[in-house]
Structure 1
Amino acid sequence: MTTHSARSKKHNFTREIELDRITGLAAPKSVSVPLALLTRLLLDANETNRTWLQDFKDDVVRIDSDLYEVLLAYQSMQQA
């Protein structure tokens, strides 16, 4: 059973970590996600107009350079 004091300490610690991340004092978090999962979730969020998607619109995403080249070629073909 978690006591009120233990919950309060955990909450304060979590809040401090988040503040460090926001202010740039903490190392950025990253995870590896299969592209198929990511695209499925993002497409669904876009199609259903999820407002949270707008919160991340300016975030930078790291991808492999070969995927980037394919995306650029695809974009060029679409514009033609």
Structure 2
Amino acid sequence: MRNFLADVEAFLARHPEVSPTRFGEESVNDPALVRQLRNTEKPRRPRTDTCEKVYNWMTSYEEKHGTDTRATAEAA
């Protein structure tokens, strides 16, 4: 499986209008998702179905809203 947290972080970098809290709320109804994934002492390990929901949500969001390529270029 891909690096889930890296994919989430890349999405958030491309979409600065989406806060980590909003991301969790809208993707899996869990506003603490990103904070828990980022926890270095005890990171959350999401189940496969949670990852699938998040990936589906990210794909749907980008289909509706496009990608903010400025954020991607600035991060490089």
- Give the shorter-chain TM-score range: 0.3 to 0.5
Instruction: Give the TM-score normalised by structure 2.
Output: 0.32
Asked which structure has the greater RCO (Cα within 8 Å, sep 6+), the reply is: 2
Larger Rg: 1
